[in-house]
Amino acid sequence: MKNLDQLEIHVEKIESIAVMRIEGSLTSFTHNKFLEEVKHSNRKGGLIIDMEDLMVVSSTGLEALRKMIDLSYISGNKIVLLNLSNHVKQVLSMMGYLKIFTIAPNVELAMKLASRSGK
């Protein structure tokens, strides 16, 4: 497993949608890097965040995820979460956050949801 201060972010563009794969930990050490990449990637179109390899989410990481909602609203573009691990789902559920995110069960639906306008 990665250290708490490591988060790898890989972004590829599929049509007008950015697909961001994150790996490692979303913590106080990595949240700024994550939010900057979200802001940049969501500026010109929808964004899918593949969280399959996200291992740790701290309270600061949860706050960064919540701030994504604001970024999505400001840009007018959707942000869709994909491949949430059971651990991440459980943490989001305990915080009541599952209700505020758009979560897709597969890539096809994620692409369809992300291509819609956020407003």
Q: Domain boundaries in the chain?
A: 7-114
pLDDT mean over 70-91: 93
Token pair belonging to 70: 């604001």
Matching residue, tokens 């930990």: 25
Give the integer Cα–Cα distance in Å for 62 and 69.
12
Provide the CATH topology of domain 7-114: Transcription Regulator spoIIAA (3.30.750)
Q: Please report the pLDDT score of residue 1 as a whole number.
A: 47
- Measured in Å, how far apart are the chain's first and last C-alpha atoms? 38
Q: Please report the pLDDT score of residue 2 as a whole number.
A: 55
Q: Please report the pLDDT score of residue 5 as a whole number.
A: 85
Q: Please report the pLDDT score of residue 77 as a whole number.
A: 94
Question: For residue 45, is pLDDT > 70?
Answer: yes
Judge whether 25 and 3 are in contact, CB under 8 Å. Answer: yes
The model carries a pTM of 0.92
| Amino acid occupying residue 84 | L
What percent of the chain has pLDDT above 70?
94
